[in-house]
Amino acid sequence: MAGVERINFSSNDYLGLANHPALKEAAVRAVERFGAGSGASRLVCGSLAPHHELDDALAVFKGTEAALSFSSGYAAAMGTVCALVGKGDIVILDKLIHACLIDAARLSGATVRVFKHNDLADLEEILVWAGAERQKPSATPAPVGRPSQVLVITESVFSMDGDLAPLRNIVELKERHGAWLMVDEAHGTGLFGEHRRGVIEAMEVSGRVEIQMGTLGKSLGAAGGYIAGSRMLIDWLVNRARSFIFSTAPAPAAAAAAIAAIELVGSGEGEERRQALWGRVNRLKERVIGRGWLLPAVQSAILPLMVGPESEAVRISRELYDQGILIPAIRYPTVARGKARLRLTATASHTWEEIERLDAALAALVSAPVGPGD
């Protein structure tokens, strides 16, 4: 940056796959064979071999009946939520859900309610309310002449806080109240579970989440988004998800790189890279705590250094930048006002020496952090 090398501690390329030779090679080969672009929407004539192979590979990787890739995680969220619910339905979101799912819920036309972050009692209260609401004879009929539906949406690993959703409890609640559950695994895929499918696998709720969502652009090192679930869900989306239907198919190189990434993540090397990542996460935690920062109890590659005031977060970020460390300050509207932070992330490709350089930069800060946001 500006002619000076800086160490990136804010990437979501957790497994270091974006520059892996296997992904680059797959992308280059796809360009040579299929060209730079797809030329049309998938439903017209843009569906190329890598797109079909990617959908199949995603379903096998996730252990679901079917899967569908989108041009981004954002597009997957928009297309899917709007295809599943509308006026007369109810969407219940975790307070800290990603912006793409807030936008999707709003655009869908459904009634939107928000529960306190990871708060099961609050979620249950809203589910009880929703149950009563959908029984009311005065309720607006749902658009396709079916009973009113309730959809709960949460993330498995929260993108700016690094904490995990209590998925087992949420699954029990949504089942008890007859709701659907959509889980965004953007920061869980590739990192959790025996087969590295995500937190849904790790928490053993695989068959009980109707809609699994994620991105191909983080741990998988490529670009695009996906939905995994039942055959019926995927068939519905192919015919109803507007961000899928009315958008040019992703570049074949992106799809091919994602296929290579899925293969890699599922292999022994995937497990080695995950272990390398956790080793670096643990070292970073030690160093950060050793320098006087309070870290929330997170079990992910996202370590939020909570600062509070926006200006203070910007100051610390600048000081680190001057010392060769890149960790941008995360501020409103990405997080709530007064909860600014440095979102520190580890990747499998950080060297131990780079971590020591971060430690030295933290030690040299003009003043210590003011304390955690809460």
Q: Is 98 in the site for ligand PLP (CB under 6 A)?
A: yes
- Rounded to 10°, the helix 21-34/49-62 angle is 150
Separation of CA 228 from chain center: 14
Q: Which is nearer to ligand PLP, 134 or 163 (CB)?
A: 163
Q: Which is nearer to ligand PLP, 156 or 317 (CB)?
A: 156
Spatial neighbors of 110 by CB under 8 A, at least 6 apart, are 85, 86, 87, 88, 89, 90, 91, 151
CB of 74 to ligand PLP, least distance (A): 4
For ligand PLP, the binding residue among 111, 159, 345, 349 (CB under 6 A) is 159
For ligand PLP, the binding residue among 50, 162, 193, 225 (CB under 6 A) is 225
**Among this protein's residues, is 187 annotated catalytic?**
yes
Token couple for 169 = 């409890």
Q: Residue 119 region, left (φ>0) first, then alpha (ψ -120 to 50), else beta?
A: beta
**Among this protein's residues, is 41 annotated catalytic?**
no
Q: Is 74 in the site for ligand PLP (CB under 6 A)?
A: yes
Segment (H or E) for 269? helix 268-290
User: Which of 12, 79, 20, 11 shows the shortest CA–CA distance to 258?
Assistant: 20
**Among this protein's residues, is 53 annotated catalytic?**
no
For ligand PLP, the binding residue among 7, 59, 91, 100 (CB under 6 A) is 100
Site for ligand PLP in 162-201 (CB under 6 A): 184, 186-187
Q: Which of 20, 218, 339, 350 is catalytic?
A: 218
Q: Which is nearer to ligand PLP, 186 or 277 (CB)?
A: 186
User: Which of 190, 175, 206, 169 shows the shortest CA–CA distance to 65?
Assistant: 206
Q: Residue 348 region, left (φ>0) first, then alpha (ψ -120 to 50), else beta?
A: alpha
Asked, as a colleague might, if the bond just before 333 is cis with ω within 30 of 0, I would say yes
Radius of gyration, CA atoms only, the chain: 21
End-to-end CA distance of the chain: 33
Can you tell me the distance from the alpha carbon of 249 to that of 186, in angstroms, rounded to the nearest whole number?
A: 21
For ligand PLP, the binding residue among 38, 64, 69, 72 (CB under 6 A) is 72
Q: Which is nearer to ligand PLP, 72 or 347 (CB)?
A: 72
Q: Is 38 in the site for ligand PLP (CB under 6 A)?
A: no
For ligand PLP, the binding residue among 64, 108, 215, 349 (CB under 6 A) is 215
Amino acid type, 344:
L
- Binding span for ligand PLP by CB under 6 A among 67-75, 175-183, 285-293, 308-316: 67-75
Segment (H or E) for 248? none
**Among this protein's residues, is 118 annotated catalytic?**
no
Segment (H or E) for 91? strand 90-94
Token couple for 370 = 């003011």
Q: What is the DSSP letter of 206?
A: G
CB of 351 to ligand PLP, least distance (A): 26
CB of 274 to ligand PLP, least distance (A): 19
Q: Is 244 in the site for ligand PLP (CB under 6 A)?
A: no
Which residues make beta-bridge pairs with 184?
155, 213
**Among this protein's residues, is 218 annotated catalytic?**
yes
For ligand PLP, the binding residue among 18, 48, 68, 73 (CB under 6 A) is 73
Query: Which residue carries 């890279």 as its tokens?
Result: 273
Q: Which of 187, 201, 300, 349 is catalytic?
A: 187
Amino acid type, 124:
E
Which residues make beta-bridge pairs with 212?
183, 228
Q: Is 42 in the site for ligand PLP (CB under 6 A)?
A: no
Q: Which is nearer to ligand PLP, 11 or 41 (CB)?
A: 11
- Binding span for ligand PLP by CB under 6 A among 68-76, 112-120, 246-254, 325-333: 68-76
Q: Which is nearer to ligand PLP, 217 or 229 (CB)?
A: 217
Q: Which of 20, 62, 98, 174 is catalytic?
A: 98
Token couple for 70 = 């989108």
Which position's Cβ is nearest ligand PLP?
73
Can you tell me the distance from the alpha carbon of 370 to that of 306, in angstroms, rounded to the nearest whole number?
A: 9
Q: Which of 156, 159, 219, 349 is catalytic?
A: 159
Binding-site size for ligand PLP (CB under 6 A) equals 13
Q: Note the residues at the interface with ligand PLP (CB under 6 A).
A: 72-74, 98, 100, 155, 159, 184, 186-187, 215, 217, 225
Active site residues: 12, 98, 155, 159, 184, 187, 218
